[in-house]
Amino acid sequence: MPKFRILSEDEKKTVLEKFRTTKDKLPKILEADPIVVRISAKKGDLIEITRKSEVAGESLYYRVVV
């Protein structure tokens, strides 16, 4: 199962700068999603998802809670 964590404000800023984007342009995840409820994420939070990848070992994905 992938690992999920809520990014801090500083981490959020770093990710947005790294990808030269805004929260509005990132993929979304619903506040009612079971994993969002489990980690107690709130609307506007940026979640980092770490998935295992056969090619890269681990891949990072980001979702904004809406």
Q: What is d(CA 65, CA 47) in angstroms, rounded to the nearest whole number? A: 7
Angle at 63 between CA 43 and CA 29, to 5 degrees: 60
pLDDT at 1: 82
Digit-coded pLDDT (tens) for 14-52: 999 999 999 999 999 999 999 999 999 999 999 999 999
Domains and CATH numbers, the chain: 3-65 (3.90.940.20)
Q: Which residue has the higher pLDDT, 9 or 54?
A: 9
Pick from 8-12, 15-19, 53-57: least confident: 53-57
